[in-house]
Chains A and B, each alone.
Chain A
Amino acid sequence: MKDIKHHLTDQLLMGYAAGTLPEAFSLVVATHVSLCDECRARLAEYEAVGGEIMMDAGAAPMAEDALASTMALIANANPAPKQETRSTGIFPTPLRDYVGGDKDAVRWRSVGGGVKQMILSTEGEATVRLLHIPAGSAVPDHGHNGTELTLVLQGAFADHTDHFGVGDVEVANEDLDHTPVAAEGEDCICLAATDAPLKFNSFLPRIAQKFVKI
């Protein structure tokens, strides 16, 4: 296990346990939990709360032939799918499923300033993308209209709040304006999800925003 310092919030873990997060955020949560036993255990705790809520929600009588129908479902089912193989690259399995492979399979598109992205296809009001930031380069200074989750998969970045290495997730909201800068050394690859467009604080990126929908 890597040494992860920055974890998911309780709100995100509870929302994921309840199944109410937008798909883009669920992907960041599932990817972080794949890398982080601390959040895996915290998530299991919120799932235990869900189990208790479900058991107390009040029973509704099942149809008379329900058990027989279920046995028929079992008899007609395809054999259980084989356990998925574990990821050996830098993308944990849930992310690999969205990309169609590991980092070699990413179809990067330039967004200017050396930064590249691939938007992943998800339903709902939030969006999620992979970002490739060359070592030492910055993402333009911006603020947030909603929540932004940024999970590091390779390299590292820093802003005025802290340093974020592999497995770390930064949870930013309306209160934070920042200029994330990729650390020297390895290029930074991260998974970033937002439920509202970012607010870029300079003229040029605002034009870029129209075209690339950051």
Chain B
Amino acid sequence: MVHGEVWTLKELFVTPNEYIYWGIQIVMYPFMTGLVAGAFVLSSLYHVFGIKELKDIARFALVFSFALLFAAPVPIILHLQHPFRGINVMMTPHFTSAIAAFGIVFFSYGAIVASELWFLYRKHFVETAQALREKQDKSRFEWIGYFIFCTLTLGVYDISEGALKRDEKAIKVLAGFGIPVACFLHGYAGFIFGSVKANALWMTPLMPVIFIMSAVVSGIALCMLTYIVTMELRKMFVSRQKAQYAGYQSKEKIKSVEIHVIQMTAKYLLFFLILAISLELLDLIFRGYTAVKSWDVLRSVIYGRDFTDIFILQYGLGNLVPFILFLLPKLTLRRTVVGVILVLFGVFMMRYNVVIGGQAFSLTFAGYMHYHMPIIPHDIETLKEGFFGAVGIFIMPFVLFWVFSKIFPIFNYKESH
């Protein structure tokens, strides 16, 4: 079986080698990098622009961005026909290709997030390491913890007032430097698609900008969702065992902080959502108005075959409904949860409609291809490039986030600045 044949159905005039080569994992790739970039931009809004209302969610978003970062390249690796050769991109990067920069952009971005995290949590590392050092009769876990935190301090134990001031400055610089890099990380994912001149749907210079805007939207939405879920869990813990959490004393206090943070963040979500939708509609209108050679086939795909996916699921359910939900006065948590889940779904559908929609028509402009995502896997290919592969990618950052939150406490830790 040829790669792609199992999930592609051809109709009318399609050339023999055409298949939907880029499947669900290539939908997941821009979706996940978008979440990374979006979460980082959210955290930078506080660190760089000093938007105080976002203080509570900023640190949270940064740790989450770090967790998402590890999940972002996995879809590509699962998609590669030769995954073990993936490292070739680093060894012989061919810089005329948009993908060649991946390693460099990805690792420089990773370095920025990691160092920002280090400066943010340095005090915590030092304090924990010192506390564990002084402790007599360490258990095995405490020994492991001691080694981890000693390593994480990188041998710097100076947590004087002056040193922490300098840390703060470093965080600001890193966050400021990180914004363009995060936008580049995702903008260039848009460039990968936008620069394919052979694909009539993809080729538009707006693609990177559209990708960045929807990335920020999805990143903020996911941070809000995870934030609400963790806060709810905390409320549950607090009502069970009181006074264990020093940061917030009572359930009521948590609730008031939570709703305040969410209402503030929702405003930024709306702002970026408007930008994203405007750009997407501009692209659509422009295509219809200029109506070049490919428009006939594009129109039949956009308004015909993919109408449900694009106008009902993406624009309707994914954009319009949450837009109204957030605009209605007196935003509640429950409404927010519904809203952000719909926003995430909308952004996912946008990626889907770009990646799969771009392959829904033939290069001949006289034929169509239908994508049937493999659900029940019957070999390794349908497993990794099917429903379960995609779900696995989506779950991965949450597991990582849970692991990271053991090292980078997101709530209990009293901030140094």
Do A and B associate with each other?
A: no
Binding site for A on B (CB under 8 A): none
